[in-house]
Amino acid sequence: MRQAEKVDLGSDDWTMEIRPYASAFHFPIKELWEYRDLLFLFVRRDFKTMYKQTILGPAWILLSPLLTTGMFSLIFGRIAGISTDGTPAFLFYMAGNILWNYFSSCLSAASSTFIGNAGLFGKVYFPRIVVPASSAVSKLITFGAQFLLFLILLFCSLGSGQVRITWLCLMTPVLLVMLALLAIGTGMILASLTAKYRDLQVLVGFGIQLWMYASPIVYPLSQIPGKWRILLSLNPVAYIVECFRYGWLGSGIVSIPNLMIGLGIILLILFVGTVMFNKTQRNFMDTV
């Protein structure tokens, strides 16, 4: 990573000098703001290319969670008979599914920052963190459409008495920010590792799949024994999903202390990811 600084070079024609950051602990928040136009160009690019050359195009944004949720309802609800705490199975699985889709897509995109953009990074300067940040913003468009579909199905079920909306639904933006920061932080760690060790790319998809089953996406947290629930509290996604379900469906286990622990873990991962990302971007063109 290099930073641009204006310097006075006397009679020379140069007006800008690009040089490495002095510290690996630098987080370019100011530069992110200065390059916000580029960030939104990346968001536009990602959205336009997401379903390019597909038959149904953006319709997959809605079809994908519907198909996945239907499969979860059949396999885990009907065949396996896993409890949904009295909540309609389709809404229960869809609530977890749309949150997980947002998190996993952000994580996958961020983890390929260096390898997927090596050609671009070698030609032009801009804060490299713009790439994972733009992924988190672009995936919000997909989440927004899926969340709207979820709300339509939810309001159609309000009369059944099986669901209720609580005040914790107002925390949805906070929960999304927590998921985005966790995805960016973890993605930067993976991007830094895969830039040097390519074979780790093979394990990223497998690891994300395992993470899903270690989170209460297809099962409620109430089904986990107490001793294992303590261990699960180290997974920030767990209580984010539970809080979201409790806010919109009225079922789930809400623990503010565990949410705070999760926030602390997220900030720690973001810090470690930033340090590794800054160290890697100094010489990644020699290894990618």
Q: Percent of the chain having pLDDT more than 90? A: 32
Residue 237: pLDDT band (50, 70, 90) is very high
Quote the CA–CA distance of 160 and 164 in Å, as a whole number.
10
Q: Is residue 3 classed as helix, strand or coil in its secondary structure? A: strand
Question: How many other C-beta atoms are found inside a 10 Å radius of the C-beta of residue 258?
Answer: 23
Looking at per-residue confidence, does 82 or 160 come out higher? Answer: 82
Quote the CA–CA distance of 217 and 94 in Å, as a whole number.
9
Predicted pLDDT of residue 267: 94
Integer-rounded Cα radius of gyration of the chain: 21
42 is written with which tokens? 């990346």
User: Across the strands, what pairs with 210?
Assistant: none
- CA torsion sign for 209, 213, 219, 221 is negative
Predicted pLDDT of residue 42: 82
Quote the CA–CA distance of 160 and 109 in Å, as a whole number.
39
Looking at per-residue confidence, does 119 or 243 come out higher? Answer: 243
Helix residue ranges, H only, 21-129: 29-34, 36-50, 60-72, 89-111, 113-116, 118-121
95 is written with which tokens? 């609530």
> Span 51-66, mean pLDDT?
75
Quote the CA–CA distance of 272 and 135 in Å, as a whole number.
19
Predicted pLDDT of residue 2: 46
Question: How many residues are listed for the chain in this entry?
Answer: 288
Residue 11: pLDDT band (50, 70, 90) is very low
Backbone angles phi, psi at 3, to 5 degrees: -115, 145
Highest mean pLDDT among 131-145, 167-181, 186-200, 246-260: 167-181
Cα separations (Å) of 112 from 39, 57, 219? 17, 24, 30
Q: Is residue 225 classed as helix, strand or coil in its secondary structure? A: coil
The torsion of the CA quartet 120, 123, 128, 132, rounded to 10 degrees, works out to -10
**pTM for the predicted model, two decimal places:** 0.85
130, pLDDT greater than 90 = no
Among 95, 85, 105, 77, residue whose Cα is nearest residue 208:
105
